[in-house]
Amino acid sequence: MSKSVTHLENASPFHAGEQAVQTQNGKREEAEAMGRTMIRSFMPDQHRVFFGQLPFLVVGAVDDQGWPWASLFPGRPGFMHSPSPTTLEISSLGIEGDPVRDAVRPGAPLGLLGIEMHSRRRNRLNGRVTSRNDDGFSLAVDQSFGNCPQYIRHRSVDIPSSWNPAQKGGKRVAFRTFDAKAKDLIKRADVFFVSSFVQANDNPVAEGVDVSHRGGRPGFVKLEGNTLTIPDFPGNNAFNTLGNFFVNPKAGLVFPDFETGDLLMLTGKVALIDRDHEDIATFKGAERGWQFILDHGLWLTNALPFNSKPGDESPNSLLTDNWSDADARRAVDAQRQAWRNFRIIRIEDESSIIRSFYLQPVDGDVLLPFEAGQFLTIRLTLPDVEKPAIRTYTVSSAPADPHYRISVKREEEGTVSRHLHDRLKVGDQIEAKAPTGDFFIDAAEKRPAVLLAGGVGITPMMSMARHVVVEGLRMRHLRPLTIFHAATTTAQRAFYQVFRELEQGTNGAIRYFSMIDQPKATEKPGVNFNGTGYITKDILQQTLPLDDYDFFLCGPPPFMQALYDMLRSLGVRDERIFAEAFGPAALKRIPDESRLPFEPEEEADATVVSFTKSGAEHVWHKGDPTLLDLAEDQGLNPDFGCRKGSCGTCLTKLKAGSVAYRIRPTADHTSDEVLICCAVPAKGADRIELEL
């Protein structure tokens, strides 16, 4: 069990299991570079001071039967001190009956975690016990490194003056199944600590015992029978715990009850869960997960001499689900194509012509997740019009927000936009489907992105920029963005102040340039905007450092076409240019050499088209209009939005037969679904049945 004292020259700070999980998650090179810089074989002075001021220490150890355990050893600040950078002295052994106390013996590997909950600081220390006496033990350092403050909830911890470190504590109660008290503590827990280990073998400095913090919103741990399911949130990408599980699937967990001072201590086996698992896929904030299967556990009552009330949630935890929300989202997700009622909770003018509407579901259920840049399909009834109007508007809120927001330009010829601007008020309701679309940004991508917006085309860019900032906090990686926004006047320009605040708050990682075509005489470049006129080749070349970028375009069709052609003339590959959801169907693209142009499939000569719900039936002939047009000719009123295969509003179940598409459809659909706005019967299909 014990680690060798030998430090292998040029050895990785990570053992084989950690390296394997890093590789699986695409973080191997990044983690190795971080580890060689951050993980030390000695304690920096600030860590030595830090451990000396703590009122408790989290300790991970392994018992004689090979089961890992995690525990908390309390003490008055000063009960730990570091006489040298490679040694830590601890004047505490926890309480009698604690299996970690029994496992602390000379030569034993231990994992230590120092955590200061009121400041949300934490530092890790892995090493070997060099000596033990009745009052405590000494540890030789193998690895010392800091951890980020993510998912740590603020708590104040004070040791009462009446506490005697020599007190025996309370009772020890062993169990093999969870009782009601344990279930209640796990259900409301916002923190626990986990110990894991691998035998010292090929890389003895990196191998051994590790103990780590896990935090989230109350309810982030799911209990079913003797199994706990735990989402794994983004962290430092070292994967110390999961790497140990990869080699040795065992864990020790401790849930502290900060109200009573009791410790719920568990040990058992582990199963890893990947991100595609149905439980994890809908859990906001989780990238993977793991299950803990209880072998045995125990209660230690009165183990902690303090109680602690929870303070503010970690900002990172607020970006995640608990299991109640995840289960609700999974249930709602099954109705993604259904219309859902939303109430307008706020209306805000973004410019002289753009107004935002904030929407929350009337049913009180959770919002369905979406990608930054996607659009919302809405349906509402206009005065004196029998058939509801359907429109699509980009979601301008970020995926982490507790609402959807659409920002709509008032068009004088637009009956729906005028209705939204002139008639709707807070408290009114509209119908909407879940956001969808293929135009969105990947905040985790390392390649910098350039967002080019014209007029109201700034709305998806607002969502993208705010999402990148939020994910930068969560993932500790901020994708560089440069935003160019062209508007006619400053009065018509939307979200100017928000972009400026994002620019200032990210120390230049996000840059924003405002181009105004018709500024007032009193408005000055560099003060009220950045430049006049259009987004030109010269502006891009002068502003963008030489690099490989992704470009995102949104605005009026002539604006997007001009920008697309300009980018292609600058040598930007077609695959690096992304256009708003309705852009690809209208944009005339120049394919890269490796990308073949779309070739429509052969159409049928004559096909019977049956609409199964209405009972209507008609013979379609080659050259006739699309299936959507045919349905309308039969008196049906199917939903549709773009008529270009982009929005997915017209998605219809295909009960029999096969179809061909006249243009390349971009909306997601399965083999038994048809985008009827651009589909016709395929060659060889004598009969088609559609669920309409």
Give yes or no: residues 312 and 337 share one domain: no
Query: Is residue 335 situated within a structural domain?
Result: yes
Q: Which residue has the tokens 């209990």?
A: 223
- pLDDT tens-digit map of 445-477: 999 999 999 999 999 999 999 999 999 988 888
Confidence of residue 4 (pLDDT cuts 50, 70, 90): very low
Measured CA to CA in angstroms, residue 483 lies from 354, 374, 539 at distances of 19, 18, 12
Give yes or no: residues 346 and 471 share one domain: no
Q: Which residue has the tokens 């009850």?
A: 257
- Mark which of 432, 459, 493 sits at the end of a domain: 432
**Residue (of 413, 316, 309, 432) closest to 363 by Cα position:** 432
Residue 2 pLDDT greater than 70, yes or no: no
Residue 597 pLDDT greater than 80, yes or no: no
Confidence of residue 182 (pLDDT cuts 50, 70, 90): very high
Rounded Cα distance, 432 and 422, in Å: 20
- Mark which of 325, 347, 365 sits at the end of a domain: 325
Rounded Cα distance, 651 and 666, in Å: 12
pLDDT of residue 666: 79
Rounded Cα distance, 371 and 395, in Å: 9
- pLDDT tens-digit map of 614-644: 999 999 999 999 999 999 899 898 988 778 8
pLDDT of residue 594: 59
pLDDT of residue 646: 79
Residue 1 pLDDT greater than 50, yes or no: no
Give yes or no: residues 228 and 370 share one domain: no
Give yes or no: residues 321 and 336 share one domain: no
Query: Vertex 438, ends 433 and 442: CA angle to 5°?
Result: 110
Give yes or no: residues 425 and 509 share one domain: no
CB atoms within 10 A of CB 155: 19
Query: Is residue 276 situated within a structural domain?
Result: yes
Give yes or no: residues 399 and 475 share one domain: no
Rounded Cα distance, 115 and 191, in Å: 12
Across 105-126, average pLDDT: 95
DSSP for residue 242 = H
User: Which residue type, as a one-letter code, is found at position 133?
Assistant: N
Measured CA to CA in angstroms, residue 99 lies from 34, 186, 289 at distances of 34, 21, 27
Rounded Cα distance, 294 and 266, in Å: 7
What is the extent of the structural domain holding 476? 449-586
pLDDT of residue 664: 83
Query: Is residue 2 situated within a structural domain?
Result: no
**HSE-CB of 339 using CA atoms within 13 angstroms:** 14
Plot region of 657 (φ>0 → left; ψ -120 to 50 → alpha; else → beta)? left
Plot region of 87 (φ>0 → left; ψ -120 to 50 → alpha; else → beta)? beta
The residue among 385 and 361 whose pLDDT is bigger is 361
Rounded Cα distance, 42 and 511, in Å: 40
Across 170-185, average pLDDT: 94
Tokens of 552: 């995102």
Tokens of 286: 């989780």
Percent of the chain whose pLDDT exceeds 90: 77
Relative to beta strand 531-532, strand 510-516 is parallel
Residue 586 pLDDT greater than 90, yes or no: no
Query: Is residue 681 situated within a structural domain?
Result: yes
Given a contact cutoff of 8 angstroms between Cβ atoms, the answer to whether 653 and 690 are in contact is: yes
- pLDDT tens-digit map of 507-565: 989 999 999 999 999 999 999 999 999 999 999 999 998 889 999 999 999 999 999 99
- pLDDT tens-digit map of 229-285: 999 999 889 999 999 999 999 999 999 999 999 999 999 999 999 888 888 888 999
Residue 348 pLDDT greater than 60, yes or no: yes
pLDDT of residue 3: 38
- Helices and strands (H, E) in the chain, number of each type: 15, 34
Give yes or no: residues 318 and 363 share one domain: no
Count how many residues are written for the chain: 692
Query: Is residue 595 situated within a structural domain?
Result: no
Rounded Cα distance, 515 and 533, in Å: 6
Cβ-proximal residues to 36 (8 Å cutoff; 6+ apart), any chain: 12, 13
Percent of the chain whose pLDDT exceeds 70: 97
Strands (E), 225-318: 227-232, 250-256, 263-273, 288-300
Give yes or no: residues 154 and 270 share one domain: yes
Residue 637 sits in a domain whose CATH number is: 3.10.20.30
pLDDT of residue 161: 83
Given a contact cutoff of 8 angstroms between Cβ atoms, the answer to whether 454 and 555 are in contact is: yes
Give yes or no: residues 180 and 32 share one domain: yes
Give yes or no: residues 83 and 125 share one domain: yes
Cβ-proximal residues to 145 (8 Å cutoff; 6+ apart), any chain: 38, 39, 40, 123, 124
pLDDT of residue 5: 45
Query: Is residue 440 situated within a structural domain?
Result: no
Across 486-490, average pLDDT: 97
Specify which of 150-154, 166-170, 200-204 reaches the highest per-range mean pLDDT: 150-154
Backbone angles phi, psi at 16, to 5 degrees: -60, -35
Across 48-65, average pLDDT: 96
Q: What is the DSSP string of 604-662?
A: PSEEEEEETTT--EEEEETT---HHHHHHHTT-----S-SSSSS-TTEEEEEES-EEES
Average pLDDT, the chain: 92
Dmax (CA) of the chain: 93
Given a contact cutoff of 8 angstroms between Cβ atoms, the answer to whether 420 and 365 are in contact is: no
The residue among 439 and 10 whose pLDDT is bigger is 439
Q: What is the DSSP string of 49-72?
A: HHHHT-SEEEEEEE-TTS-EEEEE
Residue 216 sits in a domain whose CATH number is: 2.30.110.10
Query: Is residue 601 situated within a structural domain?
Result: no
Cβ-proximal residues to 139 (8 Å cutoff; 6+ apart), any chain: 87, 88, 89, 90, 110, 112, 125, 127, 128, 129, 130
Residue 493 sits in a domain whose CATH number is: 3.40.50.80
Rounded Cα distance, 666 and 437, in Å: 8
Across 561-574, average pLDDT: 94
Cβ-proximal residues to 79 (8 Å cutoff; 6+ apart), any chain: 90, 91, 92, 136, 165
Rounded Cα distance, 523 and 530, in Å: 11
Give yes or no: residues 416 and 479 share one domain: no
Give yes or no: residues 24 and 144 share one domain: yes
Total domains in the fold of the chain: 4
Q: Which residue has the tokens 């926004």?
A: 485
Query: Is residue 442 situated within a structural domain?
Result: no
Confidence of residue 583 (pLDDT cuts 50, 70, 90): very low
Given a contact cutoff of 8 angstroms between Cβ atoms, the answer to whether 228 and 291 are in contact is: yes
pLDDT of residue 173: 95
Tokens of 517: 């075509």
Q: What is the DSSP string of 404-449?
A: EEEEEE--TT-HHHHHHHHT--TT-EEEEPPPB-S----TT--S-E
Rounded Cα distance, 303 and 299, in Å: 9
pLDDT of residue 595: 61
| 34 class by beta-carbon count within 10 Å (0-12 exposed, 13-18 middle, 19+ buried) | middle
- Mark which of 525, 555, 586 sits at the end of a domain: 586
Residue 381 sits in a domain whose CATH number is: 2.40.30.10
- pLDDT tens-digit map of 137-156: 999 999 999 988 889 999 98
